[in-house]
Amino acid sequence: SDPRITLLKGEAQRLADVLTPEMLALPKPWLIVEDSSHLHDDSLAVLDFFDPHLASGDYIVIEDGVVAFMGPAYDKYEQGPTRAVDDFLARRGADYVLDDSLCDHFGRNVTYNPNGWLKRL
């Protein structure tokens, strides 16, 4: 237990129920890590929720896009995280860059988060 850390539980598609305006006004920079259900709609909801709250230099990481490449046992996720990032960037890509230095640190997309490190411009 660390007094600097507070665990909040909530639903990816209802983050406003958990994250108060005071929390969203906390000092920057931020590193947001989305590691929920790995379903498209949940990952996209997190991206859309945090988008207006992120400032230049903040990061949002979409975890486990690797499920798109892990075979039949992971088909139930329907490439959720990867599709969510693609859909989000199709709409909001002018304000973000994929940080290849983090995605490709050990080789091209040798990570559980392929193309999942988004940096706000």
Give yes or no for residue 75 having a pLDDT over 70. yes
The whole model's pTM is what?
A: 0.89
Domain count, the chain: 1
6 domain residue, yes or no: no
* Largest separation between any pair of C-alpha atoms in the chain: 43
pLDDT at 7: 85
pLDDT at 44: 98
**Residues contacting residue 116 through CB under 8 Å, at least 6 positions apart:** 61, 62, 63, 65, 81, 85, 103
**Residues contacting residue 118 through CB under 8 Å, at least 6 positions apart:** 47, 59, 60, 61, 62, 85, 88, 89, 96, 97, 98, 99
87 domain residue, yes or no: yes
4 domain residue, yes or no: no
40 domain residue, yes or no: yes
pLDDT at 100: 86
Task: Provide φ and ψ at 55, rounded to 5°.
Answer: -110, 165
1 domain residue, yes or no: no
Mean pLDDT over 103-116 rounds to 73
2 domain residue, yes or no: no
Nearest to 38, CA basis, from 8, 70, 6: 70
pLDDT at 30: 96
19 domain residue, yes or no: yes
User: Which residue range is the domain that position 80 belongs to?
Assistant: 12-120
36 domain residue, yes or no: yes
pLDDT at 69: 76
Per-residue model confidence as pLDDT tens digits over 25-57: 999 999 999 999 999 999 999 999 999 999 999
